[in-house]
Amino acid sequence: MKAPHFWSSGLDPKSREAAPLTRALLTPLTWLYLWGLNRKLASVIPEIVPVPVICIGNLTTGGTGKTPVAETIRSRITSLGHRAATLSRGHGGREQGPLKVDAAVHTFRDVGDEPLLLAATGEAWIGRSRVAAARDMASAGVEVVLMDDGHQNPSLQKDFTFVVIDAGAPFGNGHVLPKGPLRETIPAGLSRADAVILMGDGPVPREVAASTKPVLRARLESAAPVPAGRLVAFAGIGRPEKFFDSLKAAGADLRDAIPYADHHPYSAGDLDFLRGLARSEGALLITTAKDHVRLPAEMRAETRVHPVSAVFEDPEVLDALLVPIFKHSQP
């Protein structure tokens, strides 16, 4: 889904760009969505599994850097001596799970793009049923289940929840789906979180400050140099402009940038268009690691990938939050 323009922050609520009539018409759907979510949160009794469960969630739809954060925290937990694996729903994949993802065997059509990306650097599982998947993971010897998303899913008891927020665009227009990008109201979402990870530059949002939750600062950094020469970039992620801006900041000679919706399945027509655009500019194609796994093999071979990683300003603060979770879980 591509985010509608009126979800953006900073627009005059009465302006044409902010689509006041559209927002008004969507208000009843927002009420209905919130009623369903609140009913689910109140009625479901979370299941407990025999290993710690840490959730990396967010309050908005995509674009916060949640998956790179999950990857970094998994690596951090592993460095502390624990076998950690991510658990994703497998959005966009045909496999139901529970299933351990094998990057050499599975494709994004099997398990989704984010789990495939996570499997390239560590242990990753998928499961439509988070409870069944977490139990299988524990039976297989996983010592820490790291949920990539799931803050609004109450089925599995969580030992700790991080909420990831984009400092540059924290809550969009401040409205809940479908009127805005929020998955739930800000106070409700923060009340169930244990800590906030603020990604990128920007002040701490007043709602976060008022919550008194611990705030960790992190940022996305290039994990490889930008290729020399002219480049045409494309991305189908939550906020493609963040990727394009990161390329420019790294000194890329960016001749064009084509945004697509998050999880966009690239068609033959899309690929022909991108190839033609690159030829006309005398440029190389470049995309995100998440998009790269959704390309056919021949297109991956001719498209550069620009990977990023989440880097915490103070990793010791992160460790101080993680270690007690493991100590309390030990018999």
> Do 302 and 181 belong together in one domain?
no
Query: Edge-to-edge, what's the strand order for the sheet holding 230-235?
Result: 253-259, 230-235, 284-287, 303-305
Mean pLDDT of 258-277: 94
In terms of DSSP bridges, do strands 144-148 and 160-166 run parallel, antiparallel, or are they unpaired?
unpaired
Q: Is it the case that residue 15 has pLDDT exceeding 80?
A: no
The confidence score (pLDDT) of residue 331 equals 47
> Do 201 and 62 belong together in one domain?
yes
> Do 135 and 258 belong together in one domain?
no
Reported pTM:
0.92
The confidence score (pLDDT) of residue 328 equals 57
> Do 301 and 216 belong together in one domain?
no
> Do 295 and 186 belong together in one domain?
no
Whether 16 is covered by a domain: the verdict is no
> Which structural domain range is residue 254 located in?
224-306
pLDDT bucket at 9, cuts 50 / 70 / 90: confident
The confidence score (pLDDT) of residue 6 equals 79
pLDDT bucket at 242, cuts 50 / 70 / 90: confident
The confidence score (pLDDT) of residue 149 equals 93
> Do 194 and 316 belong together in one domain?
yes
Give the integer Cα–Cα distance in Å for 142 and 133.
11
Whether 93 is covered by a domain: the verdict is yes
Give the integer Cα–Cα distance in Å for 181 and 322.
29
Q: What is the pLDDT of residues 177-203, one digit of tens each?
A: 999 999 999 999 999 999 999 999 999
Q: What is the pLDDT of residues 18-45, one digit of tens each?
A: 678 888 889 999 999 999 999 999 999 9
Mean pLDDT of 92-116: 94
The confidence score (pLDDT) of residue 119 equals 96
> Do 127 and 169 belong together in one domain?
yes
The confidence score (pLDDT) of residue 16 equals 67
- Residue reference for tokens 């995100």: 288
When the pLDDT of each residue in the chain is averaged and rounded to a whole number, the result is 92
> Do 59 and 205 belong together in one domain?
yes
Q: What is the pLDDT of residues 308-331, one digit of tens each?
A: 899 999 999 999 999 998 765 554
Q: Total domain count for the chain?
A: 2
> Do 199 and 83 belong together in one domain?
yes
pLDDT bucket at 249, cuts 50 / 70 / 90: confident
- The pLDDT > 90 percentage for the chain reads 79
Give the CATH number, domain containing residue 153. Answer: 3.40.50.300
Whether 129 is covered by a domain: the verdict is yes
Whether 41 is covered by a domain: the verdict is no
Q: Is it the case that residue 155 has pLDDT exceeding 50?
A: yes
